[in-house]
Homo-oligomer: A and B are copies of this chain.
């Protein structure tokens, strides 16, 4: 009784809202009458208890105008807004970000010759003037996307929006030779852009985490090998995440150089527009207005059907003709919004010439390195994964109208590799304090058994040990943050020795995996060993 009253007290506590801040209610923070840990209780167990964690999930529905990912991030207590377009990552959100960052790093480390670095965030303006990317008007304080400041000695700095100038200057300070090339340097670090219009939480923010890799090669042909190697790393990363972004040829724009590709995830909240051939899946960026991008786009990989576009009747604004397979199709029906999550740029010598990043060839001549630049928006990808899961869940609900209740996002569907925790053990009320004690003991037993049998799970199991919470409350919290494997330990488990395992996650091909398994307690370690073994 005391417990219930105090919990209600928490929920009813006044809700302060300091200016400029969202105000999540910490309704899941109370540890009430959690079982007293024995002296021998090890740190792994204590660190797994939800009762000691910060999970300020919101009960209120998010405003309808925000995207599904923003709603899930804020309502799930993963992030909290600091200023417009600038977010703090709370513990649950930090876990996802760190997992995603490590996964990206692992795949960049897999690119032959790639080395990780960490470049400055405060960049000297003079190199940007040298490349022509910092105009005089910027110095005069004109508003732009570049965030700049002057130090106490009046020197001008940019808060890094990207690092082409910095990495090129850095390597220009080294003596390079054909034997020391290629260089493939990458980092995962913050970038800053003063977006006029921020939106969608992490989809377009002013302070965001990015993986950027820069390659330096002896010539264009060698640079193509770097380009291909990074592209292979990207493809491996997408596979590990179980996602399939569309690769499209793109315009280099302000970056300079000649060749570029982008990876886009189709999503109704995306800011770009793709036309996708219904026959061969070839995709192209839709240029503005009536222009017909897809039938003038170069084939993505130089194979097949390049000639098709030239030998058939020109397409009209309403119809398109695939540049890759030659199939004509209804343009409007195959136009999609998309979120850019990665890009590759062949920069040529756009930066190496002005900044003097040259190598010495066999004849002793200084030759500018041929460069490439390759980015993945890590925080944007985090949001895009939530958008994918939300869209897939909505599609699944639409296909099964009896259960169609998912208009508002109530659950995050992460790819298993980046969920805040892979497994949750939900100790649910079993109908009396004696039974609840038995559940608590069983929960501890299961925790010890699965983490002993599968050491890789250590640190990745969340134990919902909170007492005084109903089954539905626990499930809704664990689902909102998106734990893919929820093991229900309650009355039925005590009676049968069988745990119900609810599996819900974003599976390969942008589909929702939603399954329920009944697993005997003794089989749980082997069950999770299989789960880990199947993980990419």
Residues of A within 8 A of B (CB): 6, 9-11, 13-27, 29-32, 43, 46-47, 52-54, 56, 80, 82-83, 86-91, 94-95, 97-98, 109-110, 112-113, 115-124, 126-127, 143-144, 147-149, 151-152, 155, 157, 159, 166, 169-170, 172-177, 179-180, 183, 185, 190, 192, 194, 196, 206-207, 355-356, 358, 360, 362, 364, 366
B residues less than 8 Å from A170 (CB atoms): 21, 80, 82, 88, 90
Docked Cα-Cα span, A109 to B48, in Å, equals: 12
B residues less than 8 Å from A16 (CB atoms): 172-173, 175, 356, 358
| Cβ-closest 7 pairs across A and B | A29-B180, A143-B152, A91-B115, A89-B118, A149-B149, A13-B360, A30-B179
Take A112-B46, A122-B207 as given contacts and tell me if A166 and B88 are in contact as well, using a CB distance cutoff of 8 Å.
Answer: yes
Docked Cα-Cα span, A362 to B10, in Å, equals: 10
Q: Is the CB of A94 within 8 A of B82?
A: no
Take A124-B82, A180-B29, A364-B9 as given contacts and tell me if A173 and B23 are in contact as well, using a CB distance cutoff of 8 Å.
Answer: yes
Q: Is the CB of B20 within 8 A of A194?
A: no
Of chain B, the residue at the smallest CB distance from A152 is B143
Q: Is the CB of B47 within 8 A of A109?
A: yes
Work out how many copies of this chain go into the complex.
2
Of chain B, the residue at the smallest CB distance from A149 is B149
Q: Is the CB of A9 within 8 A of B80?
A: no
Take A143-B152, A173-B24, A183-B54 as given contacts and tell me if A207 and B121 are in contact as well, using a CB distance cutoff of 8 Å.
Answer: yes
Q: Is the CB of B124 within 8 A of A43?
A: no
Q: Is the CB of A118 within 8 A of B144?
A: no
Of chain B, the residue at the smallest CB distance from A54 is B115
B residues less than 8 Å from A91 (CB atoms): 115-117, 185
A–B pairs, 29, beta carbons within 8 Å: A9-B360, A14-B175, A18-B173, A19-B126, A20-B124, A21-B170, A22-B173, A23-B174, A26-B176, A27-B175, A29-B180, A30-B180, A52-B113, A53-B115, A54-B185, A56-B175, A82-B123, A83-B120, A86-B120, A88-B119, A89-B118, A89-B119, A91-B116, A91-B185, A94-B118, A97-B118, A122-B192, A149-B159, A190-B190
Q: How far is the CB of A466 from chain B (nearest CB, A)?
A: 10
Of chain B, the residue at the smallest CB distance from A205 is B120
Q: Is the CB of A29 within 8 A of B177?
A: yes
B residues less than 8 Å from A98 (CB atoms): 116
Q: Is the CB of A177 within 8 A of B10?
A: yes
Docked Cα-Cα span, A356 to B358, in Å, equals: 56
B residues less than 8 Å from A110 (CB atoms): 43
Docked Cα-Cα span, A519 to B258, in Å, equals: 55
Docked Cα-Cα span, A32 to B178, in Å, equals: 11
Q: Is the CB of A119 within 8 A of B82?
A: yes
Docked Cα-Cα span, A109 to B47, in Å, equals: 9
Docked Cα-Cα span, A23 to B90, in Å, equals: 41
B residues less than 8 Å from A10 (CB atoms): 175, 177, 179-180, 360
B residues less than 8 Å from A147 (CB atoms): 122, 149, 151
B residues less than 8 Å from A159 (CB atoms): 122, 149, 159
Docked Cα-Cα span, A319 to B354, in Å, equals: 63
**Most chain-B CB neighbours within 10 Å: which of A11, A147, A355?**
A147
**Most chain-B CB neighbours within 10 Å: which of A21, A358, A362?**
A21
Take A149-B148, A185-B91 as given contacts and tell me if A355 and B117 are in contact as well, using a CB distance cutoff of 8 Å.
Answer: no
